[in-house]
Amino acid sequence: MKAKINPLAAIKSIIGFLVFVALGIVCMVMIKLPEDAPPIGFYAGLVCMLIGVLILLIKIIYLASMCLVVTNKRVLGKVGVIKKHSLDYPIDKVESIQMKSSFWGAIFRYNSLKVAGSGGTTEIVFGGISNANAFKNTVTDAVEQHQAEARRAQAEEIAMAMRGGKL
């Protein structure tokens, strides 16, 4: 199962983009200087608009680069482009998977998942997941199924040892 990224997870960046574009327009229109002065208002407005575009572009790239998948054997994930964080945990090494919702996440129905493995490995947070609860349940089911298979294999080994190694 693959975690689905909610595009509305970029809502704060979209609002930031709109604020900086509006601020840029205000700077371009409102700052009037004498004719022989350099157009500082235009440049200030342009800088504000570029900041807004960068804020939105960084969030879009972050969300587009994120991937989180669970199989019956492993939990795999990656996030980031330049500074990458990745995880590759065998299903029996998944220690915890926590779900957290922010104010915007509660409104637009997305959550963050924090995946931690055993053995002192680092925790990685994946934000903007729209099917976080289903993903968490799938990981939990896979862990429980793996534990049941391990118990069954151990019971077979014990039974075989008690019979003296004969079938």
38's tokens: 């350099």
Domain residue limits, the chain: 8-64, 68-162
The burial of 82, by beta-carbon neighbours within 10 Å (0-12 exposed, 13-18 middle, 19 or more buried), is given as exposed
Cβ atoms of 37 and 9 closer than 8 Å: no
What does the DSSP 8-state code read for residue 3? P
Task: Indicate the CATH number of 68-162 among 3.90.228, 2.40.128, 2.30.29, 3.40.720.
Answer: 2.30.29
Residues 121-163: tens digit of each pLDDT: 677 888 889 999 999 999 989 888 988 998 999 999 898 888 8
pLDDT of residue 41: 82
The pLDDT tens digits of the residues spanning 56-114 come to 999 999 888 899 999 888 889 898 888 888 888 888 888 888 899 889 888 898 999 98
Q: Is residue 50 very low, low, confident or very high in pLDDT (cuts 50, 70, 90)? A: very high
Amino acid at 123: E
Round to whole Å and give the CA distance between 109 and 8.
Answer: 9
39 CA to centre of own chain: 42
pTM (whole model) above 0.85:
no
Identify any residues that bridge with 70 across adjacent strands, giving them in sequence order.
75
Q: In the prediction, which pLDDT does 83 show?
A: 84
pLDDT of 27 > 80? The answer is yes
Nearest to 3 by CA among 163, 115, 160: 115
